[in-house]
Amino acid sequence: MGVLDSKVPSGPLADKWTKYKNEINLVNPANKRNIDVIVVGTGLAGGSAAATMAELGYNVKTFCYQDSPRRAHSIAAQGGVNAAKNYQGDGDSVYRLFYDTVKGGDYRSREANVHRLAEVSTSIIDQCVAQGVPFAREYGGLLDNRSFGGVLVSRTFYAKGQTGQQLLLGAYAAMNRQIQRGKIKSYTRHEMLDLVLVDGKARGIIARNLVTGEIERHSAHAVVLATGGYGNLFFLSTYCMGANVMAAWKAHKRGAFFANPCFTQIHPTCIPVSGDHQSKLTLMSESLRNDGRIWVPAKKEDAEAIRAGKLKPTELAEEDRDYYLERRYPAFGNLVPRDVASRAAKERCDAGFGVNKTGEAVYLDFDAAIMRYGREKALTSGMKNPDDTTVRKLGEEVVEAKYGNLFQMYEKIVDQNPYKTPMMIYPAVHYTMGGLWVDYNLMTSIPGCYAAGEANFSDHGANRLGASALMQGLADGYFVLPYTIGDYLSDDIRTGPISTDSSEFEDAEKNVRDRIEKLMSAKGEHSVDYYHKKLGKIMWNKCGMARNEKELQEAMNEIAELRKDFWENVKVPGDANAKNQELEKAGRVADFLELGELFAMDAFDRNESCGGHFREEYQTPEGEALRDDKNYTYVSAWEYKGDPRKAKLHKEKLVYENIEVKTRSYK
Q: Could you tell me the CA-to-CA distances from 507 to 203, 206, 337, 495, 587 in Å, in that order?
A: 14, 10, 47, 22, 19
Catalytic-role residue among 146, 155, 338, 464: 338
400's CB contacts (< 8 A; 6+ apart) are 407, 419
Phi, psi of 147 (to 5 degrees): -100, 150
Q: Which strands sit side by side in the sheet containing 36-40, from one edge to the other? A: 184-187, 59-63, 36-40, 222-225, 449-451
| Helix H or strand E segment including 70 | none
CA dihedral 645, 650, 656, 661 (to 10 degrees): 30
3-class DSSP state for residue 426? strand
How far is Cα of residue 238 from the mean position of the Cα atoms in its chain? 10
Q: Are 472 and 460 in contact (CB under 8 A)?
A: yes
Distance in angstroms (rounded) separating the CA atoms of residues 306 and 352: 12
Contact criterion met (CB below 8 Å) for 1 and 11: no
Whether 654 and 318 have beta carbons less than 8 Å apart is answered as: no
- Treating both helix axes as pointing N-terminal to C-terminal, what angle do 481-489 and 44-56 enclose, rounded to 10 degrees? 50
Beta-sheet pairing, 423-432 with 362-365: antiparallel
**List of residues 6+ apart from 239 with CB closer than 8 A:** 73, 228, 229, 231, 232, 280, 429, 430
CA distance 111 to 6: 11
Cα 22 from Cα 41, distance rounded (Å): 30
Decide if 338 is catalytic. Answer: yes
d(CA 257, CA 119): 27
- Cα–Cα dist 459/469, whole Å: 9
DSSP 71: G
**CA dist., res. 643 & res. 598, Å (int):** 9
Is-contact 267 427, C-beta < 8 A? yes
**CA torsion, ordered 349, 353, 357, 363, to nearest 10 deg:** -90
Strands 449-451 and 222-225 come out as parallel
Q: What is the spatial distance between Cα 619 and Cα 501, in angstroms, rounded to a whole number?
A: 56
Q: Are 121 and 480 in contact (CB under 8 A)?
A: no
In angstroms, the CA 269 to CA 430 distance is: 10
CA dihedral in degrees (420, 282, 102, 610; nearest 10)? 100
d(CA 616, CA 609): 8
CA 471: distance to chain centroid?
Answer: 11
Query: Is residue 342 classed as helix, strand or coil in its secondary structure?
Result: helix
Which ranges of 544-646 would DSSP assign to H, the alpha helix?
A: 549-569, 581-605, 629-632
CA distance 358 to 283: 18
Q: Is the separation of the CB atoms in 519 and 584 below 8 Å?
A: no
For the chain, how big is the Rg over CA atoms in Å?
A: 25
- Residue 333: count other Cβ atoms within 10 Å of its Cβ: 17
Q: Tell me which residues are annotated as active site.
A: 338
